[in-house]
Amino acid sequence: MTVRAHAKINLGLRVLGRRADGYHDLSTIFHRVDLFDTVRIEPTPDGITMECDRADVPTDDGNLCMRAARMLLAAHPGVGVHIELRKRIPMGAGLGGGSADAAAVLRVLPSLLDLRIAEADLFAMALRLGSDVPFFLRDGSATARGRGELLDHFPFACPWWIVLLDPGIHVSTAWAYANLRLAADPDDPDLRALLRRAADGDTAALRRLLHNDFEEAVMATHPEIRRARDAMRDAGAVGTLMSGSGASVFGLFDSDTAAHACTAAVHPARILSVTAPAFIPESVVPVD
């Protein structure tokens, strides 16, 4: 079975504080864009193996897909799978590519192999794999709090064109968290309410929504990310933001013309995707 694993962007991201377990509490909105990896899963008599079309992607337990399959099959000896990953979402881009791939494995394998797994167990496995894996278990956009696992999914017909840019750098999430300067009194608005107002044309709400607490520290070390974001703003974006802990940046545009004028204005090799308004991904619907 072959499925698509779509990338996410963060429509706003606030880091609220450091927790006793070393993680951080955050508030964000995850939203899928028209950029996806393809995950092909084939049952085999035994063992878990993997291949990828990109040489720099690990195909051992360093890959979240392998770990996801191993967790699922731990209680099922004599069942195996081969995973083929076609990688298009860059790593270290703040787009959740590895998490989306792992969630695709968690979503597909139980039905493919006829395994009975409780929803709560699947969710716990997802969270063990990474903080943003649970989001990818379900379709739609979502507000997220806690580590990213306190989710409220909702359908969102995005009114803007979304242009996604790769500044050509990788940022490690752990590094970004370690270098974050936390506010003593963090700003914690209702992001879903801001999104609703922004989508209705409230530009002040859109400005307030599009804040990412990682930008300052990450852009101080990697000024090319700021330049990429500024290039989109100069090309007419109604809003721009770095996604997750970086390094990709996205721009929101009011029209097809403006979005495509932007892709011409910035180096085309750096455009990762252009997502049309109201885009709904096929997600884990089989593609063959």
Instruction: Note if 87 is an active site residue.
Output: no
C-alpha torsion angle, residues 11, 19, 133, 163 (rounded to 10): 20
Ramachandran category for residue 190: left, alpha or beta (phi over 0 → left; psi -120 to 50 → alpha): beta
Q: Rule CB under 6 A: is residue 174 a binding residue for ligand C5P?
A: yes
Ramachandran category for residue 41: left, alpha or beta (phi over 0 → left; psi -120 to 50 → alpha): beta
Among 131, 141, 273, 275, binds ligand C5P (CB under 6 A): 131
With CB atoms as reference, the residue minimizing the distance to ligand C5P is: 131
- Select 74 or 174, whichever has its Cβ closest to ligand C5P: 174
- Please count the residues of this chain forming the interface with ligand C5P, following the rule CB under 6 A: 10
Q: What DSSP element (H or E) covers 14?
A: strand 2-18
- Select 4 or 24, whichever has its Cβ closest to ligand C5P: 24
Question: With b meaning 16 or more CB within 10 Å and e meaning fewer, what string describes 77-99?
Answer: eebbbebbbbbbbbebbbbbbbb
Q: How far is CA 229 from CA 135, 184, 241, 270, in A?
A: 26, 27, 7, 12
Among 12, 97, 134, 148, binds ligand C5P (CB under 6 A): 148
Tell me how long the chain is: 288
- Which of 39, 28, 29 is closest to 6 using CA atoms? 39
Q: Rule CB under 6 A: is residue 62 a binding residue for ligand C5P?
A: no
From 37, 101, 132, 166, the catalytic residue: 132
Alpha-carbon span 99 to 130, nearest angstrom: 7
Among 121, 173, 270, 277, binds ligand C5P (CB under 6 A): 173
Q: What's the min distance (Å) between Cβ of 131 and ligand C5P?
A: 3
- Select 92 or 130, whichever has its Cβ closest to ligand C5P: 130
Instruction: Note if 132 is an active site residue.
Output: yes
- Which of 43, 11, 44 is closest to 27 using CA atoms? 11
Among 92, 130, 167, 239, binds ligand C5P (CB under 6 A): 130
Among 147, 208, 211, 226, binds ligand C5P (CB under 6 A): 147
Per-residue string for binding with ligand C5P, 13-42, x by CB under 6 A? ----------xx-x----------------
Residues lying near ligand C5P in the complex (CB under 6 A) = 23-24, 26, 130-131, 147-148, 173-174, 177
Which residues participate in catalysis according to the annotation? 8, 132
